[in-house]
Amino acid sequence: MKRSRRAVVLGTLAALALGATACGSSGSSNPLGEGSGATTSAPGTAGTGGSGGSGASGGTVVVGSANFPENVLLGSIYSQALKAKGVKVEEKFNIGSREVLYGQLQSGNLTVLPEYNGSLLAYLDAKSTAVTTQDVDAALAKALPASLGILDPSPAEDKDSLSVSQETADKYNLKSIADLAAKAGEFTIGGPPEFKSRREQQLKDVYGLTFKEWKPTGDATANALKDGSIQVGNVFTTDPKIVQYKLVPLSDPKNIFGAQNVTPLVNKAGVDATATAALNAVSAKLDTAGLTALMKRVSVDKEDPSTVAKDWLKSNGLA
């Protein structure tokens, strides 16, 4: 389940004219949601059309982003990685929801977008049951139109988790959701208001978990873990409070939370081999722990996303 990510804010499309940059959100949630849309190329095969990174603006690769801080940060990482390889880049960040972004990518007004493979698949095929990265990407390869493609997915995921405090993890030797089975009956679990209705039966069926109590903790879930009012919480894996409060996201060996890998989505006519290699190199280095640390700098420490992106690229030998 996704909080605001599942609830797409359509906005007024007229106010978000193609190619324009809209005013973005200052929050840290991910509002990219589900709906319908389409992809054809398999991961890492998003075409080598054009030359010199030719894109929608006559030789320029146009990197866009949705209007929330994490996506702006990822857009800046992509943009600066491309520039480091000599690709001419234009940035159009904070545009809006997927409905707007997807149309702009199809039209060629945008060339590259940071996407989340699971959410993108849900947008294109709401009935898909794919959960693993491999299966999600295979389904995307069949769902996208021929003009669009995904590049290599990164290990970084912004997805649901069941998290616990470091103290609770150490005390009960908790590393995976399966480890909760022996203690769930003594634990209170928290999350968004809809979390119980969407996940209670699934957690019983898949992991055999029956919790003592369910609390609707919403955006305060991480805080509730920190103060001990709950013992298990539904926290998104790149929430900077995971680092700030030293929380431990438990592994999900049975994949009840589907893959949400950060993945470049491209208009294939606008990226050449140089651009493709640069973006795939970013994916190879970007993991969830690293993205969470970067988001702490952006959302908690209030650093400029472009500066944070530059530092990350330099530290990973990509700029």
Note the pLDDT tens digit of each residue in 99-109: 899 999 999 99
DSSP state of 7: S
pLDDT at 21 over 50: no
Amino acid at 204: K
CB-CB contact of 142 with 41 (8 Å) = no
pLDDT category at 198 given cuts 50, 70, 90 is: confident
Percent share of the chain, pLDDT over 90: 73
Euclidean distance between CA atoms 197 and 195, whole angstroms: 6
Q: Which of 2, 32, 34, 158 is nearest to 101 (CA)?
A: 32
pLDDT category at 30 given cuts 50, 70, 90 is: low
> pTM score, two decimals?
0.76
All domains of the chain in start order, with CATH: 4-157+258-315 (3.40.190.10), 162-249 (3.40.190.120)
pLDDT at 38 over 90: no
Note the pLDDT tens digit of each residue in 256-306: 898 999 999 999 999 999 999 999 999 999 999 999 999 999 988 999 999
